[in-house]
Amino acid sequence: MLTEAIHASASMAAATNIVGTWDGHVAWGDSGPGVSNATTQWTFNPDGTWTYQFGGGRWIQVEGLVAWNFNKYPTLIYTANVTRNALDGIMGYAAAGSNPGTGSFFAVRKEAGAAAKARVPAAGHDLSVGPHS
């Protein structure tokens, strides 16, 4: 029994590290399926910082759970379960009156040399911080 517990603990500790670039698909409020554009391509750096088209912030990971915030939007928090090449999570503003205040997202690890996918809506809107108007 102890051997099984040690093995399970070692497997959890070996969760996939999120360092790298991810293509995110966000769904704010009750907006339907997740959408993506250049603003939902997130790059996580080994030093605990992350960046995207409009800025970045800090991230932390403990085993299979990751969370990150935004420098420009300090009350916006993303959290996700981490698997080998995917993130599945929720995001939201921790401030009363935000509309929409919450949503869900998934992200897929971007592979080097992979062909760019068609993205909607236009890249000029920051989908990471709110829905397309």
Q: What is the CATH number of the domain that holds 82?
A: 2.40.128.10
Q: What's the pLDDT band for 33 if we cut at 50, 70, 90?
A: confident
Q: For the whole model, what pTM was predicted? A: 0.75
In a domain, 93, yes or no: yes
Domain, as residue range, for 74: 2-109
pLDDT digits (tens, 9 = 90+) for 73-110: 999 999 999 998 999 999 999 987 777 789 999 999 99
In a domain, 120, yes or no: no
In a domain, 133, yes or no: no
In a domain, 18, yes or no: yes
The number of distinct structural domains making up the chain is 1
In a domain, 116, yes or no: no
Q: In terms of residues, how long is the chain?
A: 133
Q: What is the Cα gyration radius of the chain? A: 16
Among 30-34, 62-66, 98-102, 115-119, which stretch is predicted with the lowest mean pLDDT? 115-119
Give the start-end residues of each E strand in 31-124.
Answer: 41-44, 49-52, 55-62, 65-69, 76-82, 86-93, 102-109
